Amino acid sequence: MNRVRNHVLISIDAGTIMAGARAVEKALTEEIVRQGLSDEITVLETGSIGATGQGVIIVVYPEGVYYGNVTVQDIPQLVEEHLLKGRLVKRLLLSELPKQHVVTKEKTGLLKEQPRIVLRNSGIIDPENIDEYIAREGYEAIGKAFSLKPEGVIEEIKKSGLIGRGGAGFPTAMKWGFAHNAPGDQKYIICNADEGEPGTFKDRLILEGDPHKLIEGMIIAGYAIGATKGFIYIRGEYSLSIERLEKAIAQARQYELLGDNILESGFSFDLSVMKGAGAYVCGEETALIESLEGKRGHPRLKPPFPAIAGLWHKPTVVNNVETLANIPEIIWRGATWYRGYGTEKCPGTKVYTIIGNVATPGIIEAEMGTTLRDIIYEYAGGIKEGKKFKCALVGGAAGAFLGPDMLDVQMDFANLKEYAAVLGSGAILVMDEDADIVDMLQSVLHFFKHESCGHCVPCRLGTAQLVKVIDRIAASKGIKEDIEKLSNISDVMRDTSFCPLGQSLCLPISSALKYFHDEVYARIPL
Amino acid sequence: MIKTKINNVDVETPEGTSILWAARKAGFNIPTLCQHPDLVPGGQCGICVVEIEGVPGLKRSCMTPVGEGFTVRTHTQRVMTVRKQLVELILSNHDTDCLTCIKNNSCELQKLAATLGVDTLEYPKFEEKLPIDKTSVSIVRDPNKCILCGRCTQVCSDIQTVNALAINNRGCDTVITTAFDAGLGNSVCINCGQCVVHCPVGALYENSQIEQVWEALHDPDKFVVVQEAPAVRVMLGEEFGMPPGSLVSGKMHAALRRLNFDAVLDTNFAADLTIMEEGTELLSRLTSGKNLPLITSCSPGWIKFMETFYHDMIPHMSTAKSPQQMFGTLSKTYYAQQKGIPPEKIVSVSIMPCTAKKFECQRPEMNISGYQDVDYVLTTREIGRMMREAGIDLKEMPDEPADDIMGDYTGAGTIFGATGGVMEAAIRSAYFLVTGRELENLDVIPVRGLKGIKEAEIDIDGTKVKVAVAHSCGKARELMDKVAAQLEKDGKCEYQFIEVMACPGGCVGGGGQSWGSNMAKRARRGESLYEEDKLMPHRRSHENPSVQAVYEKFLGKPNSEKSHKLLHTHYYKRSTVDGKVLPENKISE
Amino acid sequence: MDKEAILKKFKPTLDNILYILHDLQDENPQHYLSKDDIKVCADYLNIPYSYTHSVASFYTMFSMKPRGRNIIRLCDSPPCHLMGSKSLLDYLQRTLKVTTGETTKDGIFTLELTSCLGACGVAPAMMVNNEMFGNLTPEKVDTILDKRRKEL
């Protein structure tokens, strides 16, 4: 058998498929055969490498060369020049390779090293092959977890200071502790993969790029709280994620990493994938549980919290994908190692999706405490076309608009709270000087009107009235009391809405009015 | 016990008590809208929010249990402002045509708006109008008035287990509707009207026949007879501001007479007659051992429920018509004959605590007299409206008896209105029919009261008869599942006789009773019926002289061929999709 | 696949309702949940029709009206909005001569709006059936539509 000379990774994710990755992959494989290189070159599929808007992306190892916007027509040249003759095809190189695209520890020239915990494997391994995950120390953490008692696992997570990445900013170990201590013959762990927060697609990267990491995290979580059954609730729109995860679960079962008596530990655990059907509110944990039970996704009132009475009224932990993806790393490398990243109050990293008017939109994993300025200017190449930064909507649609004075604030859950902002899902929607704030606020409010579940009066009618008011202002038909009305309605919603969906709408409104009161006011005819 | 401080008043309540109830105990009435004492709070409206010291935001007092050491404030400035704004929001999506609304003066939203001092319509209205559902002969639904409090869906699905109504769509497009949006008349709705009596606003009400009845009353060629169900006489007083459960039999007869009904008769007479027919039927089944248990058939909501969800029980059903329908048939046969009035001139009106009776009287088989046996059914609410329209104040009426020859009744007839009443009345007469002796202790206590399913064992001269009583369709379902399982096992059932009433509390809790019904009031009304029973000279149906006369002069004896033809009926299997009669029906007889 | 076969894939427990509805809709030639689809699902799970109808109507991926062969779901969340989804919506409505939620007369397209598709990096984005398209421009939309028109 010949030694494989090159590995060619082709990124298959929703974005690259959109750009024609499947056809390119087919052409590439055929061309390699045609040029007689099939013994020396292996083509592998990988998940997203974190770049978006760059078309089909191909990475050639061991050189670590990135090609972007590759088309079927480029393939013969690429194979002949690079793979056969060893010469780079310069016109296809990702010349403006942004910093977040560094996916390995190997530095290539000028690029800054980026810490990767959650996305350690994304874009490097073939997500459809469990062996590749195992080769990168995958499933080692399970063994270590089993050697600790469940209490020991919770203790380790507690020491790590891990905070849930879903948006509420709740310490993970505390949640686990509640469920662990709650009486109950059956307990459940649920992974919240109903990623619907506008501007957020980090969970999809993990689901599509490194599904086994999630599975491993869930096994450990299940072990810690005493759950023998886990569910992964995925948005119905994420068909590739569902497909990849189902494959991964089947492989894990085959390797007896799921099922009865895992690794002779006496612990049994299995997983199912559940498919959502289009409802943003199901990202709220109790609504998700209702939906999982086969009902309308109406939130429940808390308390009781799911950790005490959740799925089918059994103790249940609901964790976000990113939270769970942190777990194997923490257990395997230890809490102390983990605390080496991030801030005192919020250790570790955060995965951000940075989008809007930036030069290179995409995904980055940055240490907690990184400033908005660094993320925008260091990682995302600054504002597009050299324009001026106006503001960023941070944390999703229910996040806050942050103006230039917030660029240098260290971002973590605790610190942003001090500034009446939230980290939320980690979505950063950047707007340049040309962005129209009324227009953006209108879009946010329409979104909430569409996604309100309709259960409670303040949210159902509040969102509808907010839309009426903002539509009027946007059409330059508002009156000056309308601005006050926006605040009044959102305040009532904050105080009396049944669930966080309605309660959180005051944030975009109050922050938009804080920074851009005059701009909104200017839309009111005299 | 948990100690809570509410507006500086210390109050002790059991663990799990909501702040709302603790506050009431402390003397503070927190306003509510969606909350109903008999239902599980859903927290839709948010009106009942309060401040709890040290807890961020406002909390719904209906759903938040008291906690040790809580300091609660129920009427702070913030809370009062918010409540007003919430009502304003609700009004922006509500038809505010209060003056012409059926619920004018009895609407909970209207009262709330007045209480909270809402004096402007702060928010612009939603203009879209939805069609009013008039597909049902019993119930009308106006979605433009609906505030989505969820009471109707909860009572329909959780208490009645009918599931005709459900919440559909989401956000501000949320509506309450039937499966496939087909309308109540094309659904599994059993017409019980529990949704109607639980609705806080004017979104659900009876399909009124007031106009037709006025027309008949004003027509000199018509002879209008009226019957009143047992439960009406302990309800009607409330329509005129009397305390819940006031017994107004005599005043009711007087008031109806003043409304110009040509003959004021009484359904209680027919209730006694029902006992004769059903009791005799029970004896024959006990003798033959066939089709036991026998199940009562007085409640039309229950009949449609059974026909839809439990039609395998049809052979077990008593074939006796309900008292309303027996009365209707006799009004156009026996009464017409005895009084020498051509039956085509008779208009038979009934006053019922029930919306399902409107459906029952329009069933196609209910015309054995050659005419529709009962022409119009009015609910207690409707007759209250008619009396007010005619300037009659019930409170001021003298006590008057009903007219002869279908107006006499016994205590057994009157307790038909409460859950367990039919059973008790049947036991009183069955004992006599079997033994020829009178039962000495007439009070069959175990079948009284508001427990969901009640059981008793009666010793009739050495023969043990085990009976069960269920009220509300949810409890009926529970009981029927048990019976079906036993029958399937070995063809035998522990019970010989079962009474079912569709509504919680029996007819006193019917869907045609006054707005603002709750279990406490239903209990009070039931007790009043037992009080009337005690006062009656006769307390056994077979002692009713008018009933004895109708057999003597017209029917022969109970379960005679003529009785069978006129006073008995049959049932149909119905579809669980649209509640319509299925094509493959076999008649139960 | 006939409906019986779809149902048999799942245990008749309530938690499978969304899966069953998804599969029934996918198999329906008009890409919606017909009255019969709701009925077979309810019967299989032994739950009321009103309940099934109520659940289905909550989720935007389910339609209770017949839809075209291709379902266009344009994202109108704030990120796509910022990148110009509104003008694309206008363009689609003009080109297809439908408003949101409607199906073209020839039955080829149904135009819908959707919340974030997680394709914000290439905003504005849309899905046609299960396929994603990003960095949309009117020209690009034309190409996509033309291709679909030619398919049968």
Write out pLDDT tens, residues B510-535. 999 999 889 999 999 999 999 999 99
Q: Is residue B575 part of a domain?
A: no
- The answer to whether B234 and B525 have CB atoms below 8 angstroms apart is yes
Residue A339 — very low, low, confident or very high, per pLDDT cuts 50/70/90?
Answer: very high
| Shortest Cα distance, chain B CAs vs residue C146, angstroms | 34
A110 has pLDDT over 60: no
Residues B226 and B157 in one domain: no
> Strands B59-60 and A427-432, how do they pair?
unpaired
Q: Is residue B123 part of a domain?
A: no
- Catalytic residue list contains B365: yes
The last residue of one of the domains, among B29, B63, B90, is: B90
Q: Kindly give the residue spans of alpha helices, DSSP state H, lying in B93-229.
A: 108-115, 151-154, 194-198, 210-218
Per-residue burial over A279-298, b = 16 or more CB atoms within 10 Å of its CB, e = otherwise: bbbbbbbbbbbbbbebbbbb
Q: What is the pLDDT of residue B482?
A: 97
Residues B512 and B409 in one domain: yes
Does residue A321 sit at the C interface (CB-CB below 8 Å)?
A: no
Residue B128 — very low, low, confident or very high, per pLDDT cuts 50/70/90?
Answer: confident
CATH no. of A6-97 = 3.40.30.10
Q: What is the pLDDT of residue B280?
A: 94
Residues B187 and B226 in one domain: no
A427 interaction partners in chain C (CB closer than 8 Å) = 79, 120
Residues B45 and B187 in one domain: no
State the architecture of A349-432 in CATH terms: Roll (3.10)
Q: What is the pLDDT of residue A16?
A: 79
B60 interaction partners in chain A (CB closer than 8 Å) = 301, 498
Q: What is the pLDDT of residue B481?
A: 98
C132 interaction partners in chain A (CB closer than 8 Å) = 14-15, 17-18
Tokens of B475: 């409890």
B121 has pLDDT over 70: yes
Residues B174 and B77 in one domain: no
Instruction: Give tens-digit pLDDT for B131-161.
Output: 999 999 999 999 999 999 999 999 999 999 9
For residues B253-278, average pLDDT: 97
Q: Is residue B539 part of a domain?
A: yes
Q: Is residue B99 part of a domain?
A: no
Per the rule left: phi > 0, alpha: psi between -120 and 50, beta: everything else, B474 is alpha
> Rounded to whole angstroms, how far apart are CA atoms A352 and A355?
9
Our count of domains for chain B comes to 3
Residue A3 — very low, low, confident or very high, per pLDDT cuts 50/70/90?
Answer: low
Per the rule left: phi > 0, alpha: psi between -120 and 50, beta: everything else, B181 is left
Candidate from C35, C50, C58 with C-beta closest to B178: C50
Residues B250 and B183 in one domain: no
Instruction: Give tens-digit pLDDT for A294-334.
Output: 999 999 988 899 999 999 999 999 999 999 999 999 999 99
Q: What is the pLDDT of residue A51?
A: 66
Instruction: Give tens-digit pLDDT for B392-424.
Output: 999 999 999 999 999 999 999 999 999 999 999
A146 has pLDDT over 80: yes
State the architecture of A437-521 in CATH terms: Up-down Bundle (1.20)
Catalytic residue selected from B507, B517, B521, B541: B507
Cα dihedral sign, B284-B287-B290-B295: positive
Q: Is residue B195 part of a domain?
A: yes
The last residue of one of the domains, among B159, B176, B206, is: B206
Residues B195 and B288 in one domain: no
- Quote the Cα angle for C133-C136-C139, to 5°: 115
State the architecture of A130-338 in CATH terms: 3-Layer(aba) Sandwich (3.40)
Q: What is the pLDDT of residue A108?
A: 34
Residues B138 and B264 in one domain: no
SS3 category, B71: strand
Does residue C119 sit at the A interface (CB-CB below 8 Å)?
A: yes
- Catalytic residue list contains B192: no
Nearest CA in chain C to B156: C50
Cα dihedral sign, B142-B145-B151-B153: positive
Q: What's the pTM?
A: 0.91
Q: What is the pLDDT of residue A104?
A: 31
Q: What is the pLDDT of residue A95?
A: 56
Q: What is the pLDDT of residue B461?
A: 82
Token pair 């209730």 in the structure block, residue: B271
CA A97 from centre of chain:
21
> Rounded to whole angstroms, how far apart are CA atoms A247 and B95?
54
A105 has pLDDT over 80: no
Instruction: Give tens-digit pLDDT for C23-56.
Output: 999 999 999 999 999 999 999 999 999 999 999 9
Contacts of C33 (CB under 8 A, 6+ apart): C21, C24, C25, C56, C62, C63, C64
The last residue of one of the domains, among B90, B106, B141, is: B90
Residues B214 and B200 in one domain: no
Q: What is the pLDDT of residue B588?
A: 46
What residue ranges of chain C have pLDDT lower than 70?
A: 152
- Catalytic residue list contains B455: no
Sort A4 into a burial class: Cβ within 10 Å, 0-12 / 13-18 / 19+: exposed
Does residue C49 sit at the B interface (CB-CB below 8 Å)?
A: yes
For residues B486-500, average pLDDT: 95
Residues B340 and B454 in one domain: yes
- The answer to whether B67 and B17 have CB atoms below 8 angstroms apart is no
Same fold, A130-338 and A349-432: no
Catalytic residue selected from B239, B281, B307, B382: B281
Q: What is the pLDDT of residue A186?
A: 97
Sort A450 into a burial class: Cβ within 10 Å, 0-12 / 13-18 / 19+: buried
Domain parsing of chain A, residue ranges: 6-97, 130-338, 349-432, 437-521
Give the least confident one: A109-118, A321-330, B497-506: A109-118
- The answer to whether B242 and B389 have CB atoms below 8 angstroms apart is no
- Catalytic residue list contains B507: yes
- We report the CATH number of the domain holding residue B337 as 3.40.50.1780
Catalytic residue selected from B84, B332, B357, B358: B357
Contacts of A266 (CB under 8 A, 6+ apart): none
Tokens of B462: 């050495």
Please, what is the average pLDDT of chain A? 89
Residues B215 and B191 in one domain: no
Residues B193 and B215 in one domain: no
Please, what is the average pLDDT of chain B? 95
Does residue C86 sit at the B interface (CB-CB below 8 Å)?
A: no
Q: Kindly give the residue spans of alpha helices, DSSP state H, lying in B436-544.
A: 473-490, 519-535
Instruction: Give tens-digit pLDDT for B343-367.
Output: 999 999 999 999 999 999 999 999 9
- We report the CATH number of the domain holding residue B55 as 3.10.20.740
Q: What is the pLDDT of residue A69?
A: 87
B188 interaction partners in chain C (CB closer than 8 Å) = 48-50
- We report the CATH number of the domain holding residue B196 as 3.30.70.20
Domain coverage including residue B479: 210-567
Q: What is the pLDDT of residue B586?
A: 56
| Shortest Cα distance, chain A CAs vs residue C79, angstroms | 6
Q: What is the pLDDT of residue A100?
A: 40
A461 interaction partners in chain B (CB closer than 8 Å) = 89-90, 92-93, 123, 172
